[in-house]
A and B are shown apart, each in its own frame.
Chain A
Amino acid sequence: MSIDMSQFHQVFFEECFEGLEAMESGLLTLDMGDIDSEVINTIFRGAHSIKGGSGTFGFTVVAEYTHIMETLLDEMRDGRRKVTQPAVDVLLGSVDCLREMLTAIQNEQDVNDASVAKHKSALEVVLNGGSVPEKLATPVEQESVKEELVINTAPEVAQEEPIESQEQGWKIAFCPYLDLLKTGNDPVRLFRELNELGELTTIVNIQDVPGFYELDPEECNISWDLKVVGDISDDEIKEIFNWVEGDCEMEIQPLTKTVKAASAEKKNDSEPVSVIADPLPSPPAAPVEVKPKVAAEAKKSSAQDSDNEAAKATTAKASSIRVDTDKIDTLINMVGEVVITQSMLGLVGENFSMDKVGQLKRGLAQLERHTRDLQQSVMNIRMLPISFVFSRFPRLVHDISSKLDKKIVLKLVGENTEVDKAVVELINDPLVHLIRNSLDHGIEMPADRVAAGKPETGTIELKAYHRGGHIVIEITDDGRGLNKDKLLAKAIEKGLVEENNLLTEKQIFELIFMPGFSTAEQLTDISGRGVGMDVVRRNIQSLGGNIEIISELGKGTTIAIHLPLTLAILDGQSVAVGEETYIVPLVSIIESINITERMLNKVAGKGETFRLRNEYLPVIRMRGIFNVNSGNPTKSKEGVLVVVEGQGELCCLLVDELLGQQQVVIKSLEANYRRVEGVSGATILGDGSVALILDVPGLVRFSVR
């Protein structure tokens, strides 16, 4: 039968990447002083599964590579080898190498042999105790060992002497122990296999079978003398008896030799009496040349490594997602409800008369509820825990902090906070950038920290939580904090701000998001790769989120990112402006107030403002900025002020009236038309008309200008 193995490849790759992640986080948690055997076991299992799978699915390079890792991990698992920091580092490197190999194979590209060879030799160096190995068993040779030593065979002489008899074949004395059947092996099956090799004659010895009353049917009391004729290699015979070795006494001899009948006396205990082949000593391993520079190369670091990082980053995108079965069950339940409601409505519609209106309305209300629940459940499927992103950071912090000689611990909080898959995919790069910044510029060198009266080890906390319809991700470090005066001086020097401008603390911090602003005294390879904070902010804004900074000099910095939970659906408030309908995202609305024209104040040079309690807020006339002239102009004498918040600033939108609140499906305007200032997207309303979704932060910026 031929089976297309490629159908399992996708699952295999996913599993491998999951395994690699588990290995990586395991390796990172290994505490040199106190080795947790369960952790090592987990890491070992990762390597082991990848090896097994890659061998089966024909990825020999991967199998060979993981074999070495597995050998090393096996020794660590058994305590034969100490777990050392260098070994862990090499294993971490191997995890990366495997990831690259698998990615290449998955994308049907060539595996980077040079990089593989480099990591492989680094592994081998560790495996050989750090010294340059003189002899090295390559995986292929080790693999071949396993098929040796199978059975208690005939004396070696028998193998050496050519068989001279005309009648080729083998004579086998087979005397199973009483317990043979209890391993699930059946002598009859063995004989049938022998019979396939050549003509088989059997002589049954039943002298040991006890009388009927003593007979235990679960025991095997019979022994056999077998003769099989044909041109059969001893390996073929051994193969058949492979599984019963240790459960029987047997002698296999070529037909020319006289065979001593197997011991007729059976012992009741199943202690093996005959000589069972001891595991053979490993055959001499083939010497493999290892050039001395290998060890040096293995240590050589960053240059190529950083080249590889771009490649590593691309592995982040997963084309499929794993969904909790609970979520699917809920979904199926919901579909069931919808089907029931639909058939109920169908029944109402079949013989409709006016007295059934009440029933119809109830049914429609039910359908609405179910549709909403169904939508929620479907959206839930897209929700992934943020740990998908966070889980990569312990490694990043480990690598970079050792490169910088800083001591840093990373704390993860709220990793199970769920967020839309699209957000998960897009938030990774900005987060990497921010964490690198914290590592490089935020946390001070250990000596500086001690001098400042802080603990030597710096802490970076990565925290995620839900607030309203948003997910908030905070990156907090207890480093040196932002220096306001320095920032301001720099901005003035670069001509980004005018000298006598009075800026609030917040506005000063915002400066670092300006294009062309970099405070690092010198660019390092950790941060400052030409991708500035302005790009980070732009990326986050393109996700519909915003970013803010809280910092205290000497104490540390917190960067908070607010992102919508989902990019596909939004709770909106429909507002009417003339004959047009606009959608204001509900999350950004603080309150709405009925006003008349008189309540607005005109301020010279600043447009109109509205006094809300004790604050004067800028007013944006929607009719004005969107050029709406339709509708009843007298209506604009009075209207509704919608107070909205965007990026921490408040402003008022003057609209004609509020319509309903509803969930709207966001359609991209850019994809279908082009970007329009003040508009973040469009949606299609129940009556088929198109409504624009307002970009509140954009409007707020507009009002401030």
Chain B
Amino acid sequence: MASILAVDDSASMRKMVSFTLRAAGYDVEEAVDGVDALEKAQARKFDCVVTDVNMPNKDGITLIRDLRALPEYKFIPMLMLTTESGIEKKQEGKAAGATGWMVKPFNPDQLLKTLLKVLG
């Protein structure tokens, strides 16, 4: 099953995401911010990255940009979880190399459906 790196500074969201994904059979690792995520992503290669946008130390968009610069992550799907309603954040994310986004709030089913879009 595909391996997913779930990044969120909010423990409850992170737990929700990873629990949902694990229950669906994915191999999930959690990271608490962009810095942590980058470290974990370099230690092993994930098939997909799901990240929050607003985080301390390193935000999700910078994380995506940093990951895209790594050869192993050039084509890996990366989704951002955002509450930003404006299109600017999405465009900014896209410019950084994000594959797509999910708008919070979302429920576990939506999350799984969206993942199928990139991991099918």
Contacts and interface: CB of A to CB of B under 8 A. Distances in A.
Interface of A: 1-3, 5, 7-9, 11-12, 14-15, 42, 44-45, 48-49, 51-58, 63, 70, 142-143, 145-147, 149, 181-186, 189, 192-193, 218, 242-243, 246-247, 279
5 contacts: A49-B9, A55-B83, A149-B87, A182-B68, A189-B120
Nearest to B83: A52
Contacts of B9: 45, 49
B97 A183 contact: yes
Given A1-B112, A8-B16, A185 B86 contact: no
Given A8-B16, A181-B75, A52 B85 contact: no
Contact of B16 (A5, A51, A146, A182): A5
B43 interface: no
Interface in B22-67: 23-24, 52, 54-56
B106 to A, nearest CB: 7
Contacts of B16: 5, 8, 56-57
Contacts of B118: 184-186, 189
A468 to B, nearest CB: 38
Nearest to B114: A243
Contacts of A186: 118
B59 to A, nearest CB: 10
Contacts of A57: 12, 16, 105
Contacts of B97: 182-184
A577 to B, nearest CB: 54
A1 B24 contact: yes
Contact of A279 (B15, B88, B100): B88
B87 A53 contact: no
A145 B85 contact: yes
A246 B94 contact: yes
Contacts of A2: 108
B111 to A, nearest CB: 10
Nearest to A149: B87
B19 A8 contact: yes
B99 interface: yes
Given A9-B12, A45-B9, A56-B106, 7 more contacts: A48-B83, A54-B105, A56-B105, A57-B16, A143-B85, A189-B118, A218-B74
Nearest to A3: B108
B108 to A, nearest CB: 5
B29 to A, nearest CB: 17
Contact of B13 (A44, A52, A243): A52
B101 A8 contact: no
Given A183-B98, A183-B99, A11 B11 contact: yes
Given A45-B56, A55-B104, A149-B87, A184 B76 contact: yes
Nearest to B12: A12
Contact of B85 (A5, A53, A56, A146): A146
B105 A63 contact: yes
Contact of A182 (B75, B83, B86, B91): B75
A399 B52 CA distance: 35
Contacts of A14: 11
Contact of B10 (A53, A146, A193): A53
Nearest to A71: B85
B13 A146 contact: no
Nearest to A277: B87
B70 to A, nearest CB: 12
Contacts of A279: 86-88
A408 B89 CA distance: 42
A143 B55 CA distance: 21
B117 A247 contact: no
B104 A243 contact: no
B112 A142 contact: no
Contact of B117 (A42, A56, A193): A193
A509 B19 CA distance: 59
A146 B87 CA distance: 7
B78 interface: yes
Nearest 6 CB-CB pairs, A to B? A55-B105, A146-B85, A243-B100, A184-B99, A12-B12, A184-B77
A1 B23 contact: yes
A185 B103 contact: no
A662 to B, nearest CB: 41
Given A52-B13, A279-B86, A279-B88, A185 B105 contact: no
Contacts of A246: 91, 94
Contacts of A9: 12
A2 B108 CA distance: 8
A80 to B, nearest CB: 13
A52 B11 contact: no
Contacts of B88: 279
B104 A1 contact: no
A44 to B, nearest CB: 8
A146 B101 CA distance: 12
B75 A146 contact: no
A45 B54 contact: yes
Nearest to A150: B87
Contacts of B75: 181-182, 184, 218
A394 to B, nearest CB: 21
A349 B12 CA distance: 50
A247 B94 contact: yes
B91 to A, nearest CB: 7
Contacts of B54: 44-45, 48-49
A242 B118 CA distance: 13
A345 B55 CA distance: 52
B20 interface: yes
B15 to A, nearest CB: 5
Contacts of B74: 182, 218
Which of B11, B76, B81 has most A Cβ within 10 Å?
B11
Nearest to B109: A1
Given A57-B12, A146-B86, A182-B74, A242 B107 contact: no
A11 B15 contact: yes
A460 to B, nearest CB: 31
Contact of B99 (A7, A11, A42, A185): A185
Which of A7, A70, A184, A193 has most B Cβ within 10 Å?
A184
A56 B85 CA distance: 15
A42 B105 CA distance: 21
A453 B12 CA distance: 54
A181 B73 CA distance: 11
B120 A192 contact: yes
Given A5-B16, A184-B99, A279-B87, A56 B120 contact: no
A63 B85 CA distance: 14
A11 B84 CA distance: 23
A611 B105 CA distance: 76
Contacts of A146: 84-87, 103
Nearest to B98: A183
A52 B100 contact: no
Nearest to A67: B83
Contacts of A181: 75
B50 to A, nearest CB: 12
A350 to B, nearest CB: 44
A49 B19 CA distance: 19
Nearest to A240: B117
